Amino acid sequence: MSVDSPASPPGHFPIVGATRDEVREFVAALGARPYHADQVLRWVYRGRAAGFEAMTDLAKPLRATLAQRAVVFTSAVQRMEESADGTRKLLVGLADGAAVEAVVIPEGRRHTVCVSTQVGCAIGCVFCASGLGGLVRDLSHGEIVEQVLHAQGLLPPEEKLTNVVVMGIGEPLMNYAALVRALRVLMAPWGLALSPRRITVSTVGIAARIRQLADEGLGVNLAVSLHASDDLTRQRLVPHAQPLQHVVAAARHYRHATGREVTFEYVLVRDINDSAADAQGLAEWVGREPILVNLLPLNPVEGLAWQEPPAERAERFAAELRRRHVRVQLRKRRGADIAGACGQLRRRARDEARPST
């Protein structure tokens, strides 16, 4: 897919990501009434409008003024790739020329979008493409919401986005304020009106921020990327990882304080964390909590030596957990043919743009 429109110039009021009150204030300054703001929001979140011309129940002069002073989106879909399994990956170009990825995953009648929260990532998990160039910048709350709307815009009119997972590029809890604001817009009745039960935030495990999120009262689900059952292995995979004891305690607190689903994500890396002893250790961290373990066989990243375990070994790992009464889901790799792993499309686009020497 080619660029649908250039990312917006700065200085325009960005509608997406603004709260209803902010949009009302903005239109009031243009001499319009509060219900005009509500109409605009309805067009954007329900009507999938990408510009003001489409908002046909607004008077023409108001549409023209809005077009001069505001933008619906600050970002644009630059490129799209579709996998044989229906997974679609979007490269979203931002106003400053940076780009992030969003992925739309169909599963029966569900449509899940996976969004990014940062350009690049500071964490540097050794098997992940997103951290290879370090952190470039945080996304704004609007840039996070825009990814969801770009994804929704791809669906046939009769189908809706049902789930949002914050598992794209970046560490969401390192861009905390923007994350929380974006989540509130996604959940707002005038926004996408998504139930918090249909939203999952995935974190590498920053204990204090997990506790803060629990107190926020949002009620979204939490996924914690554990990847190991002992601290030495974990630090090998996740540099500067906090001790498992702190991370797991914060995750348990989150579950008890919010009553929401908590998942442990565990990327299976061949010969590093895929033994029966690792599975046993992981089961001990889960303990008696109804925590779901999501096993993700590694999606190998070009240029990195880490491999996924053979399928039987992954199965055995899952079986070992089940035997210990742990709820476990062994994920199929999806979208591997379109660079489905985090940060791979952005990286490829950048490499292609670079003149070869």
Task: Give the interface with ligand SAH as residue ranges (CB under 6 A).
Answer: 125, 127-128, 167, 171, 202-204, 225, 265, 267, 296, 298-299, 301, 341-342
Which is closer to ligand SAH, CB of 148 or CB of 298? 298
Q: Which residue, 41 or 228, has its beta carbon nearer to ligand SAH?
A: 228
Residue 319 sits at the vertex; the CA angle it makes with 285 and 253, to the nearest 5 degrees, is 25
CA distance 47 to 157: 9
Cβ 292 to ligand SAH shortest distance, Å: 13
Residue 125 bears catalytic tag: no
Q: Are the CB atoms for 260 and 292 separated by under 8 Å?
A: no
Is 128 among the residues known to form the active site?
A: no
For 118-213, strand residue ranges (E) read 118-120, 135-138, 163-166, 199-203
Q: Tell me whether residue 72 or residue 241 sits nearer to ligand SAH (CB atom).
A: 241
Tell me whether strands 76-82 and 88-93 are parallel, antiparallel or unpaired: antiparallel
Nearer to ligand SAH, 32 or 291 (CB): 291
311: Cβ contacts below 8 Å, ≥ 6 apart = 297
Tell the smallest beta-carbon distance from residue 309 to ligand SAH (Å): 12
DSSP 83: -
Catalytic residue among 128, 143, 342, 352: 342
What's the closest the beta carbon of residue 164 comes to ligand SAH, in angstroms?
Answer: 13
Residue 145's nearest CA partner among 184, 196, 108, 90 is 184
The rounded distance, in Å, linking the Cα atoms of 118 and 133 is 12
Whole-number minimum distance, CB 125 to ligand SAH, in Å? 5
Query: Which of these is catalytic: 81, 101, 308, 320?
Result: 101
| CB closer to ligand SAH, 119 vs 342 | 342
Report the C-alpha gap between 130 and 194 in whole angstroms.
27
Measured distance between the N- and C-terminal CA atoms of the chain, rounded to whole angstroms: 27
CA nearest to 309, candidates 264, 339, 272, 266: 272
**Residue 206: Cβ within 10 Å count:** 22
> Is the Cβ of residue 70 or residue 125 nearer to ligand SAH in the bound state?
125
Instruction: Tell me how many helices (H) and strands (E) the chain has.
Output: 11, 14
Cβ 341 to ligand SAH shortest distance, Å: 4
> What's at 35, amino acid-wise?
Y
Q: How far is the CB of 104 from ligand SAH (least distance, A)?
A: 16
Residue numbers annotated as active site: 101, 342
